[in-house]
Amino acid sequence: MEHVMNGAGRGQDYLYSAGASYMVFDLNAAKQKAYQAIYRAQENDQHDIICLARSLLAQTAFMRGDFKEATEHITFICDYITEKNLTPLFDMRESSRNWIYVKMRDLSKVSSWIFTEYNNPRQPPLTSGASSIMHAQYLLAAEKFNELIAFLDPLENMCRKKGIWNGILTAHIMRAVAYSKLDKNDLSMDSFRKAYDISHQNGIIAPFIESGGYMRSLVEIARKDERHSFDADWLDLIYRKAFSFSRLYQTMVKTYKHENKTHNNSQNISLSKRESQVLQELANGLTQDQIASFYGISSGTVKTHVKSIYNKMGAINRADAIRIAAEFGLIG
């Protein structure tokens, strides 16, 4: 374990270079340099560099729409850390496991670890902040926008203290998305401008493209914004690439759901008679109080049934539950 904290040497140099290539969305160069980082790091048992390079390879594959390759890299990280018992990297292992589920919006499978704040003094510097950023990504995927905005302030402060500048950029982008979804476009554009100022002159576009459909909406708002001046060509570039990625993303989600359907089919969604009734009334548009009145039960009981329904179906909200129920013929 004496080398796990060692970030010096060519392995780290190649990793930073790979990260820089990824940020400007040169995915081929990022992939090549990430493998170079792995080969160099293997010579010195730099385990954190090896796992971080694999994580970058997973992200690169994901942005190309190759979900199979992305999951192979994630599996490698988890197995590698477990087999070598790399205690300081356990947070990274858990973060990697949850990355797949958050990306695929399969939030019922996200472990409780993601809701716990970590402050591990033994954690290698290059992996700092991974748990907090993953928590923010979960909140975004779950569309808990108010909670996300509140969480982003301490996240950004932590990133500033640790010099994680890409974390600061990510926080600005997520904040812009959250405010836009809450119809607070002025606040959204304030955050979007901060992200733009950090990245525009450096050609950094990957964090924007990662947002896919969210980014397309932000660009539309930015084009009409009269308080801030954005480069029109840059907005067009971001929009085109975000659109292309969003199509790849939709295909990956569809494939993921198809491959995992046997684990989530209607035979495995075992609802009680009352839960089935509540689900049907939710689909009919009734509120929880209306359902309680209709069946002569308390609102608290209905709330308990709804929570159970969501858990069994892996749904994150009413709309998601109705979509899943319609897909598997659970509602009329």
Structure tokens at 276: 């089935």
Cα–Cα distances in angstroms (integers) from residue 193 to residues 84, 119, 176, 178, in the given order? 44, 30, 9, 14
Cβ–Cβ under 8 Å, residues 274 and 308: no
Q: Which of 316, 292, 314, 294 is nearest to 305 (CA)?
A: 292
Q: What is the pTM of this model?
A: 0.73
From CA 54, how far away is CA 75, in angstroms rounded?
A: 10
86 SS3 class: coil
Residue 259 half-sphere exposure toward CB, CA atoms < 13 A:
10
From CA 267, how far away is CA 283, in angstroms rounded?
A: 20
pLDDT (tens digit, 0 to 9) for every residue of the chain, 332 residues total?
233 334 446 789 999 999 999 999 999 999 999 999 999 999 988 999 999 999 999 999 999 999 999 999 999 999 999 999 998 888 888 888 889 999 998 888 887 766 654 444 444 444 445 678 888 999 999 999 999 999 999 999 988 888 888 899 999 999 999 999 999 999 999 999 999 999 999 999 999 999 999 999 999 999 999 999 999 999 999 999 999 999 999 999 888 887 776 445 555 678 888 999 999 999 888 889 989 988 889 999 999 999 889 888 878 788 888 888 887 778 87
